[in-house]
Each structure stands twice: as C-alpha cells, then as structure tokens.
Chains A and B, each alone.
Chain A
Amino acid sequence: MKTFLQVIAIGLSQGAVYALVALGITLIFRTTRILNFAQGQILMVAVFVSLTLNQNALKSIPLPIAWLIGIGVAVGLGVLIELGVRPTLKHSGSLGWILATVGMATIIQFIAPYFWPADDRLYPSPFPNDRGIPGLGSLFSQRQIFTIVAAFLLMLGVDWLYNKTKLGRAMKAVAIDRDAAALMGISAKATVRWAFILSAALTAIAGFLVAPLTFANIAMGFDLGVKGFVAAVLGGIDSARGAIAGGIMLGIFEAALPQVLDLVSPNLAKYPLPFVFALFILVLVFRPQGIFGTAIREAR
C-alpha cells in the first residue's frame, strides 16, 4: 500500500511537470498549428541561467529573482523562435517551422556545453530543510507538494486564459483561420507572439519545479521536451485539459512502470523509456487525436 501511495506521489509531482511542458507545447500548437521542438531546450536554459545566478561565487542572487531572470531569458528565446517561424506561418502548408524550431533546439544544445558543465548539478530547493508533510510521514516531500500545487494553479490559469479572456478567444480564432481573425480586428502577429511568450514562461517554471526533484543537467531539456510532447499527444495536443491529463497519466505510468516490470524481470525495470514510447505509439495508432483531443479540421 505504501509503495502504491509513493508511486502516486512521485507520479503526480513528475506528471505535473510534464503537464506544464505539455501545456506550453499545446499553447503554441493551438494558436499556430506548429510544434516547438525547442521547448525542452528553453526549459534547460531557464534552469541553468537561474542556477548560475543563484550559485554565483561572486554574488549569489536570491532564488526568486534568479527565477524571474530565468523566465525572462526563456521568454527572449521564445520570441526569437517566434521570429524564426513567423515567415512560415503566413503560408499554410509550409514546413519551414520544423527547420526553425529544430534548428534552434540544435543550436542551443550545441552552445550549452560552452557555458555549463555536462555533469549533474544539484538545483537549490525553495524548501532547503524539507522534512516532509507532517502526518504523511515520508510519503510526500514539501518539494513534491509545492510542485503539484504550483503546477495545478498554473494549469487553472491557462484554462481560464483560454476560455475567459480576450487573448484566449484571439488564440482560438487565429488557430482556426488567421485571415478571418484579422477581419475581426485580431492581430495574428501579436497573438502568436503572446502564445510563444506564455509558453516559454510556463516551460521555464516547469524547469524550476522539476530541477529540485531530480538534478540539473544540460541533457534534461531533450528528455523533458520529448516527454512533454508525449504527454501533449496522449491527452490531445489541441486540448489544454488533455495536455494536463496526459502529463499526469504519463507521470503515473512512468512511476508505476518500474514496479510492474520488476515483477517480470529486474533487468527490464532499468529501461522504462521504451515502454513509454510504446504507449505513445499505441495512442497514435488507436486514437491519433489523443484521449481528450478532437480531430482537427482545417478551415479552408
């Protein structure tokens, strides 16, 4: 029973982070119908910028301020990517965005080792003396609870943004038909830029939440980017609520998998990732729109 609850605790906290990354991917996809393959690299840069500022030998910057600066750098990268993909957005059917986003991911990943070492680094936790939650023993750490609560608050915020705000309506309209949206007075350029800004900020925050639970490593961007993408597809890439559900499902699946595989073969339990991708492929085969997504019909 305790193992089961621990699996749930780990799965929820990890899944909440995947959900945030997935939400960032969904934000851009819903507005532009493109995927930002550099999402994970944005996360990695935000984590390492804040880590470098906080653990600077000359003058340590407090963690919340380091976070803000990290978010600022992430947003800058997001805008840079948006500028790169903008020419391709005007022409439906253009696949130049793949080149722009994959190219940006490659450049960031290539440059990162010049700034930061390749080994694992401990990321400071907002709860340095984490003794768990009173009454729950060692089941949930304060860090895990903080991650879950923060992620869920952000998810609620994004859901509200989508469904209740002027920007959310503009995002939906631009995603369906840019020209018709322009006839309504909606600036597609500004709307897309906002999508990239919010997506980059969400992804940076996901990085700040996940790094204290694991380690910071310059390869973390690839790993989390891929898993965020899997979570987004699992839930339905055009659905914000689907991305959240997909993230949580993936987190719990990933946490439970070693326990289940251990019963079959201890060796298998060491390699859970192929099984994650097997689940991804199964969903793509049997429900390509994701569990909560809707089949996308292009206008015109």
Chain B
Amino acid sequence: MTDPTQPRSPRHTQPIDPQAYPQQQPPQQPQAPVMPPQAPAPQPAPQPMPQQAPQMTPLVPGAPGVSVSQEAPLFGGLVGVDPTRERPILSVRDLEVFYGAARALRGVSFDVYQGEIVSIIGGNGAGKSTTMRTISGVYELLKSVKGQIWFKGQRIDQMACHKIARLGMAHVPEDRRVFPQSSVEDNLLLGAYRRFKKERRRIRAEVDDVYDRFPVLAERRHRAAGLLSGGEQQMLAIARGLMSNPDFLLMDEPSLGLAPILVREMFEIVNDLAAEGKTILIVEQMAVQALEIADRAYVLESGVITIEGTGQELVEDPRVKEAYLGA
C-alpha cells in the first residue's frame, strides 16, 4: 500500500475542490465494518502487501466511532488523509465476484484518485476485465457481486450500468463494442447521449475536436463502424468514451489486437488524456507500457491483488520483472 499522506505523482498536483461533489453523501449506516471508536489512525505499510489490509475499509462519516473529521464528505477515504486533497474518485472495497459457483475476484480493494492513471496488470484470467465490468455495472449472466464500490461519493455496486455512466464514468470495453451498423459519427454522437438535449451545439464542436485528435476517424466519419479495422475501431471506442465528457475513464486492454505502432500511439493518447486532467483506470497485458504511464499500479493474480505501488516501483519490483517484464 502506498503511503496516502505522500504526494502520489507530479501529475497529481491539482488541489481537489472540497465542494466538488456537494450532494454526494455516503449513507449513514455503512454496510461494511468501520474502524473501532478509539482506534488510532492506522499507518499503511510502505511497501507492497500481499493482500489488502483491514484498514482499507472505507470510512463513512456519521458512522459510530469514525475518528476522522466529519465535516467534509468523505468516501473511501483513509485515516490520516486530508479529505480535501486525498479524495479518491473511485474506491473498491473487498470486491468479490462470482459467476455461478466460480469465484473470479477474491476481495479486491483499491482506490483511484482524481487526475491519476492507475494500471492493473495481470495474466489471462486474473480478473482484470471482470473488475472493470463490475465497476461499470455491465450486466452479465450468473454474476453476483459482494463488497462495495464507491464512485464520487455514491455507492454503485448495485447500480444499473446506464446510471453509473450518467454519473460521469466511461468504459472503453475490451471488445470495443462499437455499434457496427451505425456510422462513425453516429457512434460518437451516441457517446454524448446523456448530454444530447442540453448541449447539442457543444457536442458538435466536441465531435470536431475528436476528429482533430483522431484524424483517421474524420476520414471515415460516414463509414459503418463495423467496416473499420481493429485499430480504427479501438480509436473509435476511445473517442466515443471521451464524447461523454467523463470524469473517469475505464480502459480495458486498449492495446489488444493493435499493431505495435498503434500501441505506442494509443498509450500516447492515454498520457495526453491524463495530462488534460482525466482520471484513468487501465487494465493491460502489456505490462511495460501500462506501468510506464501509471501513477500507481496493481498486480492482479487469480482474483487477488498481490502487489501494488507506484508505476516505477512495480517496474523495479523483481517479482513483476520476472512474471511480466520478461527479466
């Protein structure tokens, strides 16, 4: 666990507006256990931990015994953290996901703070995409979810996917899920669906901005999305995600199936988005690139977070080197 009292990255320097989410108060009766009344503020371990410690349990103001300041609306905050600066936009706590009897995630906990890029790396079947789909609320047959997910102060683990999207979360799924019969432009406009009525003129300008960022999409704006190449569809999926003007972007294996030159281009785009202030959670099998761009990163193995730290710390971690970097 990284020390939450330390600055996390040079990129994470913008002070967070304490009034950013004025109406988002967590419930008075938390379902997760909270800290005991006189418990001293626990200090997170400085280095990677094999599994999340109990102190990861989110503190909920108003709950009996919570020993942090109760004036500022906290969610998923950590003890000893200045709530006006250290507010995670996303908190995942003790997340367990089952597909029938099969357990895909086994108590995953992590935070993502505003303006960060957080990477999750891991092998096939580790549970990376399950984590992403569970956060964004994608419906899946036979799936059941335990644990808590908090986004911008609201608990979303039982919320419908479209409601989560309306809160400002955009998910670029692993399989792109562009609308194949619709044109590139229609796909982009669908990305802006939740703002369609109120911001019609602004959306038009944003479509043009997207075309500036992805010129290949401008050339194919009237072509059916299903006729685009894999790389073009990936760009369209990212562009469509951006059209919703999200606060938080989930990117699931964005490099999957792309030519090496496109992979580099795609990671440059991710970096640019973060520089513009977007918060990004990315899962990737291309560990080197994913760790290089990450402020913080987690290693997920068989549904458990086994290692965590800054991107640089994980690049240098011998276990990560051996398992994922080919050292």
Contacts and interface: CB of A to CB of B under 8 A. Distances in A.
Interface string B297-319: 00000000000000000000000
B165 A183 contact: yes
Contacts of B136: 183
A287 interface: no
Contact of B179 (A91, A180, A185): A180
Nearest to B193: A184
Contacts of B179: 172-173, 176-177, 180, 299
A300 B138 CA distance: 15
Interface stretch (B59-67, B105-113, B180-188, B268-276): B180-188
Contacts of A181: 162, 190
A179 B171 CA distance: 11
A121 interface: no
Contacts of A91: 141
Contact of A169 (B160, B171, B173, B189): B189
Nearest to A188: B162
Interface string B164-205: 011000110101011111100010011101101100000000
Given A182-B160, A183-B165, A185-B162, A176 B193 contact: no
Contact of A183 (B171, B180, B181, B197): B171
A217 interface: no
Nearest to B141: A91
A177 B177 contact: yes
Contacts, number: 81
Given A177-B177, A179-B161, A297-B181, A184 B191 contact: yes
Interface string A281-300: 00000000000001001011
Contacts of B178: 180
A185 B244 contact: yes
A90 B138 CA distance: 12
A170 interface: yes
Interface string A126-154: 00000000000000000000000000000
Contacts of B240: 184
Interface residues of B, number: 32
Contact of A176 (B160, B161, B166, B180): B180
Given A90-B139, A188-B162, A179 B190 contact: no
A299 B180 contact: yes
Interface in A143-200: 166, 169-170, 172-173, 176-177, 179-188
B161 to A, nearest CB: 4
Nearest to A166: B196
Nearest to A296: B181
B196 A182 contact: no
A187 B194 contact: no
A186 B160 CA distance: 10
A186 B191 CA distance: 10
Nearest to A90: B139
B182 A179 contact: no
B166 A185 contact: yes
Nearest to A182: B161
Given A182-B165, A185-B165, A188-B162, A297 B180 contact: yes
A183 B138 contact: yes
Which residue, of B162, B180, B197, has the highest number of chain A Cβ atoms within 10 A? B162
Contacts of B161: 179, 182-183
Complex A-B, nearest 3 residue pairs according to Cβ-Cβ distance, in ascending order: A180-B177, A182-B161, A185-B194
